[in-house]
């Protein structure tokens, strides 16, 4: 049983735009609702959505903020493609407060359909690109390939140009929550470390799951903030991921040089083999979440956060 104090959601960030001079058109919303649509007026764009789940009793006070990857939404923390409970459920079972962001233009954050506001075109990941990029081709990998459709279903379009907006919205989310442990995946991992560097009072620990777009340097005098980078299997066998892992290790060194305490987990070296990029969906996802909770417990006991 899950004993929660409350669930809810809020939006952060966004800016108002005013559209004028566009032509009205007739739109049929259903068989008997046909009205004139006016594309002019005032709109809010570039906000992010945050859904939260607050437990009745706390393992520790500081909540976790889960930051999805590019082309994905907060759904990636819910049930795994093969229908098992996801990390969101496991964290709640462990009595940890969880906030889940749908960042700018992903999922429930909505996106900007106003022509000309964003300079580029959206991109969307095909199953073939996903299989390649997520390292599903290696024998023995733990992703449930027979349920690939459930990963396709949660894949959404993305605009590469919104990266700075996503940084700003994540920053605003941390500001609103007050203090948090960031767990960011892929693009969300890079965003998490950028925001952790900016919001030193707010971010008490930062975990990057095969993070992308990490800073190469951090401002000095970081107050010993713990950080963790988690790498799955087959990294050495994949040119692209070998480069990403090297950039990641350099970034973790820079974090420590700035006054933080960064650690890198090479999952195969820790006995967890077969992990793809989508480690929260892999067959051993429960074990991995348990390892992360242990890491958090250790830092909580050490007084790194309340």
Quick check: helix, strand or coil at residue 154? coil
Overall residue count recorded for the chain in this entry: 306
Q: Which helix (H) or strand (E) holds 244?
A: helix 239-257
Nearer to a copy of itself, 53 or 305 (CB): 53
CA-to-CA distance for 113 and 22, rounded, in angstroms? Answer: 14
The distance of closest approach from Cβ of residue 190 to a copy of itself in the complex, given in angstroms and rounded to an integer, is: 6
Nearer to a copy of itself, 246 or 298 (CB): 246
Asked if 168 and 175 touch (Cβ cutoff 8 Å), the reply is no
The distance of closest approach from Cβ of residue 271 to a copy of itself in the complex, given in angstroms and rounded to an integer, is: 29
The distance of closest approach from Cβ of residue 160 to a copy of itself in the complex, given in angstroms and rounded to an integer, is: 5
The distance of closest approach from Cβ of residue 176 to a copy of itself in the complex, given in angstroms and rounded to an integer, is: 12
What is the distance, to the nearest Å, from the Cα of residue 57 to the centroid of all Cα atoms in its chain? 25
The distance of closest approach from Cβ of residue 302 to a copy of itself in the complex, given in angstroms and rounded to an integer, is: 30
DSSP designation for 123: B
CA-to-CA distance for 94 and 292, rounded, in angstroms? Answer: 11
Comparing CA positions, the residue from 82, 86, 91, 56 lying closest to residue 73 is 86
Nearer to a copy of itself, 214 or 296 (CB): 214
Report residue 76 as tokens. Answer: 């990636």
The distance of closest approach from Cβ of residue 67 to a copy of itself in the complex, given in angstroms and rounded to an integer, is: 14
Comparing CA positions, the residue from 170, 182, 176 lying closest to residue 65 is 182
Nearer to a copy of itself, 98 or 226 (CB): 98
Nearer to a copy of itself, 277 or 300 (CB): 277
Nearer to a copy of itself, 10 or 295 (CB): 10
> Is residue 200 left, alpha or beta, with left meaning phi > 0 and alpha meaning psi from -120 to 50?
alpha
The distance of closest approach from Cβ of residue 35 to a copy of itself in the complex, given in angstroms and rounded to an integer, is: 8
For residue 154, CA distances in Å to 76, 110, 179, 200, 278 come to 7, 15, 29, 32, 13
Nearer to a copy of itself, 85 or 259 (CB): 85
CA-to-CA distance for 240 and 134, rounded, in angstroms? Answer: 11
């Amino acid at each position: 049983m899950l004993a929660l104090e409350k669930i809810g959601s809020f939006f952060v960030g966004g800016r108002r735009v005013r559209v004028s001079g566009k032509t009205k058109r007739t739109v049929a919303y259903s068989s008997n609702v046909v009205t004139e649509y006016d594309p002019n007026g005032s709109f809010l764009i570039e906000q992010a959505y945050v859904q939260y789940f607050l437990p009745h009793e706390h393992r520790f006070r500081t909540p976790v903020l889960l930051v999805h990857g590019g082309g994905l939404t907060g759904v990636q923390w819910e049930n795994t493609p093969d229908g098992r409970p996801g990390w969101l459920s496991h964290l709640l079972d462990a009595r940890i407060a969880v906030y889940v962001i749908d960042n700018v233009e992903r999922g429930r954050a909505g996106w900007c359909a106003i022509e000309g506001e964003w300079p580029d075109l959206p991109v969307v990941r095909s199953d073939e690109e996903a299989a390649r990029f997520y390292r599903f081709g290696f024998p023995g990998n733990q992703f449930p390939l027979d349920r690939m459709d459930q990963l396709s279903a949660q894949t959404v379009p993305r605009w590469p140009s919104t990266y700075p907006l996503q940084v700003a919205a994540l920053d605003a989310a941390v500001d609103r929550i007050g203090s948090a442990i960031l767990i960011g995946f892929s693009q969300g991992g890079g965003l998490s470390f950028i925001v952790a560097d900016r919001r030193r009072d707010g971010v008490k620990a930062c975990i990057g799951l095969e993070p992308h777009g990490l800073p190469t340097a951090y401002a000095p005098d970081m107050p010993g903030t713990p950080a963790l980078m988690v790498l799955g299997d087959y990294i050495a066998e994949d040119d692209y991921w070998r480069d990403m892992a090297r950039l990641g290790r350099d970034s973790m060194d820079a974090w420590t040089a700035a006054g933080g305490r960064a650690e890198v987990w090479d999952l195969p070296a820790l006995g967890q083999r077969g992990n793809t990029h989508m480690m929260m969906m892999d067959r051993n996802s429960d074990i991995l979440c348990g390892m992360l909770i242990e890491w958090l417990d250790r830092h909580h006991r050490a007084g790194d956060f309340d």
